[in-house]
Amino acid sequence: MGKYIEMIRVRFLMMLAYRTNYYSGILIYSINIGAYYFLWNAIYGGKGEIEGLSVIQMTTYIAVAWMARAFYFNNIDREIAQEIKEGKVAVEFIRPYHYLMMKTMQGLGEGIFRLSFFSIPGMIIVSLIFPIEFSAALSTWMFFTIAIILSFIVNTQINLLTGVMTFFFFNNDGLIRAKRVVIDLFSGLLLPISFYPGWAQQVMDFLPFQAISYIPSMIFTEGFTGFAVWEAILFQLVWAVILILPIQALWVIAKKRLIVQGG
Amino acid sequence: MEKVIDVQSLRKDFKSHSSRSGLKGAFRDLFTRNYKVISAVKDISFTVNEGEMVGYIGENGAGKSTSIKMLTGILTPTSGTVRVNGMDPHKEREKFVSSIGVVFGQRSQLWWDIAVQESFRLLKKVYNVPDDVYNDHMNHVIESLDIGPLLDKPVRKLSLGQRMRCELAAALLHNPKLLFLDEPTIGLDVLVKLKIRNFLKEINEKYKTTILLTTHDLTDIEALCERVVMLDEGQIIYDGKLAKLRSNWGEGKQIEFQFGEQVNLENLQPLLTELQAEWTKGDRDNVWIANVVNEEHVISEVIGRVVAANRITDIKIHEISTEEIIRNIYEEGMLNG
């Protein structure tokens, strides 16, 4: 286990090595939150609430969704694809660890870095500028913590799945890009799931994406209360377990047919 | 002696598709593809004992890298058996890779953006090396390779020679019994090469580390390996002592004459009668090379006869280098050389 924890630390150091990325990230996220804040204000107009969310809940939703994204978001699918294309996986195979586990840990290192240097300070700044409601209830914070950890797991699993597909397609930039758009759209980052038409909501109930953004944000804004919270976390948990199967299956097949490219 | 590597009729086939030509061909490729099976390694067998340093050589595409990748467990063999360090590289991957060290000259194993010592620290955790063992062993390695001043620099800021020494140290961090080196000296200057060679000799003596070395630089092989395994088109064409290869193939010297006047083979041929020697034309005008056996009286006889019969402006005597021997073998194959 020590090696996996060490990897988190190393990734943390790598993030520090590229500070410019970090500063530009803060800027991009602030612009996004600002833009959505004004957009939603315009949509709400004078209305008290839409689909059960008040305007303050909505702004909180947007801010939290983006800040949580800083934690769960990572580019490990792209990294895996890159390493496969350049033949660097060869090096990973001669190390006594599980490659995908190591990649997950790198994602986690990145996530923890962004959470502590980016999301938390960012959230404080945003709350000074825009009216945002923080819940005082300890249980909400607790559930939110569990929910974002699970959202990290589900998002990372989807990334691993897309990344490992490179073994079969050799060039899957298109797939990676499509996945990114699908996640932004169907995870509830841009629009809460409850705003989608009924039939679309039903379809999304059978897909893992809302586990990524919609559920933690709804828990934080207290859009979910009582039994709904438990149900939502169970939904995340079930997907986190289900997704292990295709990843493991693809990984086993990929190892068998691995061809190291470039020498 | 203990067998570290035991390979029996190892084979690797790749299925590759060939594209049809032209636009019409490209459309047809969308639906059906022509596949052909290429054998990169064809039923090779060899064993390596503990403490041996073996040079693994062959032309580009001869199957060296493919077989190394099977030995290290990166690729799955199509057929045949591989036992390395008494294990099947595939079945017990994590346990197996802890017992080997690998350096790929063309691929970095260190993390690009972080300081070398951070990479070492991570690898120490990955290989579960206890602190005291690490300190004792690595202080020595760091000193021998002279990389102490480089440890706090990020890998991307190192020169190739510096990086390569760090790679080697990283591969030896867990003090493996077996070390695979895939072109470790590619693109390095003479001093760095020497340092690396001396270091490899030293660890081979100290820890009895078995080393399998692939390289295109034959001076590496001459400096380090007693035994060579030579591959051509996926098959082993020579497996034995380097010295024997030299004596079988490189017996003889070349005497290069620069004549002061126009000469041709008819004039020269009679000079070599009853001697174990023959002429080949040099690469410049009026330059002829006499290939002779390495015996004093033959050499002096040839020189004496040629000098007596012709005007000479220059004369050089070459010993056939290992490189030339290998080149001849590559060009002509093992049989008709």
pTM above 0.90, yes or no: no
The tokens describing B263, both together, are 């000469």
pLDDT reported for residue B337: 39
Q: What three-state secondary structure class fits B131?
A: helix
Q: Average pLDDT for residues B42-67, to the nearest whole number?
A: 89
CA distance B296 to A9: 68
> Between B148 and B26, where is the model more confident?
B148
What is the complex's ipTM, to 2 decimals? 0.80
Nearest-Cα residue of chain A relative to residue B153: A17
**What is the pLDDT confidence band of residue B200, given thresholds at 50, 70 and 90?**
very high
CB contact under 8 A, B125 and A13: no
Residue A259 to residue B122, Cβ atoms within 8 A: no
Over residues B210-266, the pLDDT tens digits come to 999 998 888 888 888 989 998 888 888 888 888 887 777 666 778 888 888 888 888
Which residues on A lie below 8 Å from B111 (Cβ)? 10, 14
Instruction: Give the pLDDT of residue B22.
Output: 84
| Cβ contact, residue pair A258, B14, below 8 Å | no
Q: Which residues contact A203 (CB under 8 A, 6 or more apart)?
A: none
Output B34-42 pairs: Cβ under 8 A, ≥24 positions apart.
B37/B13, B38/B13, B38/B14, B39/B11, B39/B12, B39/B13, B39/B14, B39/B234, B40/B12, B40/B13, B40/B14, B40/B66, B40/B234, B41/B10, B41/B11, B41/B12, B41/B66, B41/B67, B41/B70, B41/B234, B42/B11, B42/B233, B42/B234, B42/B235
pLDDT band at A100 (very low <50, low <70, confident <90, very high): very high
Across chain B, mean pLDDT equals 85
Residue pair A136/A51 in contact (Cβ under 8 Å)? The answer is no
Q: Which residues contact A57 (CB under 8 A, 6 or more apart)?
A: A49, A133, A221, A222, A223
- Residues B103-135: tens digit of each pLDDT: 988 888 888 888 999 999 999 999 999 999 999
Which amino acid appears at position A76 of this protein?
A: I
Residue B1 has what pLDDT?
Answer: 64
| Mutation for testing the B interface, residue in A94, A99, A252, A257 having most B CBs under 10 Å | A94
Q: Kindly list the residues of chain B whose beta carbon comes within 8 Å of any beta carbon in chain A.
A: 14, 65, 69, 72-76, 93-95, 97-98, 100, 102, 104, 106-109, 111, 113-114, 118-119, 121-122, 125-128, 154
Amino acid B251: pLDDT? 67
**Is the pLDDT reported for residue A192 higher than 80?**
yes
Q: Please report, in angstroms and rounded to a whole number, the separation of the first and last CA atoms in chain B.
A: 34
Across the interface, whether the CB atoms of B98 and A96 are under 8 A apart is answered yes
Q: Between chains, do A260 and B111 touch, taking CB under 8 Å as contact?
A: no
What average pLDDT does the segment B45-66 reach? Answer: 89
Q: Predicted confidence band at A1 (pLDDT cuts at 50, 70, 90)?
A: confident
Report the C-alpha gap between B305 and B308 in whole angstroms: 5
Question: Is it the case that residue A261 has pLDDT exceeding 60?
Answer: no
User: Using CB atoms, which residue from B69, B95, B114 is nearest to A10?
Assistant: B114
- Which residue matches tokens 């300190």? B135
CA angle B133, B139, B141 (to 5 degrees): 100
Provide the residue type at B125 as one letter: K
Task: Calculate mean pLDDT across residues B9-36.
Answer: 82
Residue from B72, B74, B78, B110 whose CB has the most chain A CBs within 10 Å, to mutate: B74
Tell how far CA B190 is from the center of its chain: 17
Rounded distance between C-alpha atoms, residue A18 and residue A78, angstroms? 18
Cα–Cα distances in angstroms (integers) from residue B337 to residues B241, B245, B272, B303, in the given order = 18, 12, 22, 26
Structure tokens at A252: 């086993």
Pick from A2, A10, A93: CB nearest B74: A93
Q: Which domains does chain B have, with CATH numbers?
A: 3-247 (3.40.50.300), 251-319 (3.30.70.1570)
List the beta strands (DSSP E) in chain A: 49-50, 53-54
Task: Quote the percentage of chain B above a pLDDT of 90.
Answer: 27
Distance CA B336, CA A175 (A): 54
Number of residues written out for chain B: 337
User: Which pLDDT score, from 0 to 100, does residue B227 have?
Assistant: 92
